Amino acid sequence: MLIGVPKEIKNNENRVAITPAGVMAMVNNGHQVIIEKNAGLGSGISDEDYIKAGATILDTAQEVFSQADMIMKVKEPLPAEYELFREGQLLFTYLHLAPEPELTAALLKKKVTGVAYETIQLENGALPLLTPMSEVAGRMSIQIGARYLEKTYGGLGVLLGGVPGVPAANVVIVGGGIVGTNAAKMAIGLGANVTILDLNVDRLRYLDDIFGGKINTVMSNSYNIASAVKKADLLVGAVLIPGAKAPRLVTEEMVKTMKPGSVIVDVAIDQGGSIETIDRVTTHSEPIYEKHGVIHYSVANMPGAVARTSTFALTNVTLPYAIQLANKGWLQAVKDNCALAKGVNVVDGKCTFKAVADSLNLEYTPLARIIG
Ligand SMILES: NC(=O)C1=CN([C@@H]2O[C@H](COP(=O)(O)OP(=O)(O)OC[C@H]3O[C@@H](n4cnc5c(N)ncnc54)[C@H](O)[C@@H]3O)[C@@H](O)[C@H]2O)C=CC1
Ligand SMILES: CC(=O)C(=O)O
């Protein structure tokens, strides 16, 4: 198979979808890899590194898209890329279609087979291709929150850990999955008072166990969210219903009760955001805006800022699935691997992921009907 890797074009997206080790593995499996010039530079990987591993470098994204059978990317395609797809092309990347009607329409129109990293799901519910980036974003949410709490960045002027004689800040995390757990780890490390809310009581038990009583675990409901948000200096949005638009759990009225200069980091923005006052996706160039005196951060590609770490963490988990897709073709690969089958969001002009179809009011076609 001919595998194409374009350079990412989202604002400050420095990750790349394949490393030289991945190129070598693909070549050893009998495939060819074409990579857009300078695609790896943001992650510290040169064109020469790729060439040594067996890839061919092409000058433009157009050349990569027009030749490749499978496109491997990191972020969801942007409008400038919609026209580059060929009918029937296989796309393996983060897609986050539920909040993206235009992207979904473009992929359906072009009859692209879209396999989304974030909905590949193991039998135990784990999302193996989302996990490493959620680890990164969860950890980053606290360092970013700490920065914006500083007075010079417009914040309250509080130190997360406080000092002897002055209380630590309150960090409230809504959603205790991978992002939430990693955020908690960092916040505890800095000495903050940490509260995590989740719907899943088993998850709360697990968090209580692993953090040895260093956090407050609270059942997620509107009443408890409202009372936690009111006390939060830093609020982290970290919920997920796989594939679906994020539920808006924190209302505008709740945000109005927060102190001026407090900070919200809505990591769940890539699925549309979990805070009612998050009304836009921000970028690494302009990451924040203020509403009701509260600083809002809603960057949808947080790991792009620490691309060297993130590219290797991401490709460690994507490569084995990419090799299955390349070796067998998508149809046989998803027949053989139910986890991979859950990644298929669109095929041949049809939406095959129920939560996406429901979020966008599209007709849902079960994948089984297509693959037989
Ligand atoms: N902005 C960015 O750059 C990045 C964003 N993300 C996003 O962060 C979000 C969270 O990802 P993960 O932690 O990996 O997901 P996860 O599936 O590990 O955790 C989500 C948690 O939300 C909980 N939850 C669901 N409904 C809830 C409710 N009503 N109240 C409280 N908790 C609820 C679930 O029980 C689960 O524990 C996703 O949207 C993911 O795509 C991940 C990486 C980077
Ligand atoms: C998960 C995701 O969207 C990201 O890492 O950018």
Structural tokens at position 304: 């792009």
pLDDT confidence of residue 213: 87
pLDDT confidence of residue 137: 98
Check whether 39 is labelled as a binding-site residue.
no
Check whether 274 is labelled as a binding-site residue.
no
DSSP strands (E only) in the chain: 2-5, 32-36, 56-58, 70-72, 90-93, 113-116, 170-174, 193-198, 215-219, 234-237, 263-266, 288-291, 294-297, 344-347, 350-351
pLDDT at residue 67 is higher than 90: yes
User: Against a cut of 0.95, is the pTM above it?
Assistant: yes
- The model's confidence at residue 54, banded by pLDDT at 50, 70 and 90, is very high
pLDDT at residue 372 is higher than 90: no
Number of CB atoms found within 10 A of residue 182's CB: 23
> If you measure from the C-alpha of residue 269 to the centroid of ligand 2, how many angstroms do you get, rounded to a whole number?
10
Q: Which of 93, 74, 17 is nearest to 346 (CA)?
A: 93
Q: Is 209 exposed, middle or buried (0-12, 13-18, 19+ CB in 10 A)?
A: exposed
> If you measure from the C-alpha of residue 127 to the centroid of ligand 1, how many angstroms do you get, rounded to a whole number?
11
**Closest C-alpha to ligand 2, atom 6:** 301
Q: Which of 305, 306, 292, 205 is nearest to 253 (CA)?
A: 292
SS3 229: helix
Structural tokens at position 234: 């830093």
The mean pLDDT value for 211-229 works out to 97
Cβ < 6 A, ligand 1 pocket? 118, 130, 133-134, 137, 174-180, 197-200, 203, 220, 238-241, 246-247, 249, 267-271, 300-303
With pLDDT > 90 as the criterion, what percentage of the chain qualifies? 99
pLDDT at residue 235 is higher than 90: yes
Asked if ipTM goes beyond 0.90, one says yes
Check whether 240 is labelled as a binding-site residue.
yes
Phi, psi of 142 (to 5 degrees): -80, -40
Q: How far apart are CA 362 and CA 263, in angstroms?
A: 36
Residues marked as catalytic: 96, 270
Domains and CATH numbers, the chain: 2-119+306-371 (3.40.50.720), 131-300 (3.40.50.720)
The count of C-alpha atoms lying within 13 angstroms of the C-alpha of 251, restricted to the half-sphere facing its C-beta, is: 9
pLDDT at residue 92 is higher than 90: yes
Q: How far apart are CA 256 and CA 144, in angstroms?
A: 21
The mean pLDDT value for 229-246 works out to 97
Angstrom CA distances, 150 to 145, 173, 190, 282, 301, stand at: 9, 19, 15, 20, 23
Average pLDDT of the chain is 97
> If you measure from the C-alpha of residue 268 to the centroid of ligand 1, how many angstroms do you get, rounded to a whole number?
6
Q: Which of 138, 83, 355 is nearest to 244 (CA)?
A: 355
54 DSSP 8-state letter: T
Cβ < 6 A, ligand 2 pocket? 75, 94, 96, 118, 130, 133, 270, 301, 303
Angle between helices 178-189 and 131-148 (to 10 degrees): 40
DSSP strands (E only) in 138-241: 170-174, 193-198, 215-219, 234-237
Residue recorded with tokens 């693909």:
26
* Ligand 2 site-directed mutation target among 9, 269, 301, most atoms within 8 Å of CB: 301
- CB neighbour list of residue 124: distance below 8 Å, 6 or more residues apart: none
- Determine contact, residues 30/37, Cβ cutoff 8 Å: no
- Determine contact, residues 370/347, Cβ cutoff 8 Å: yes
- Measured in whole angstroms, the distance separating CA 60 from the mean position of its chain's CA atoms is 26
Q: Which ligand is nearest to the CA of 15?
A: 2
DSSP strands (E only) in 117-208: 170-174, 193-198
pLDDT confidence of residue 94: 98
Check whether 278 is labelled as a binding-site residue.
no
**Closest C-alpha to ligand 2, atom 5:** 133
With pLDDT > 70 as the criterion, what percentage of the chain qualifies? 100
Per residue in 94-120, pLDDT (tens digit) is: 999 999 999 999 999 999 999 999 999
Per residue in 251-294, pLDDT (tens digit) is: 999 999 999 999 999 999 999 999 999 999 999 999 999 999 99
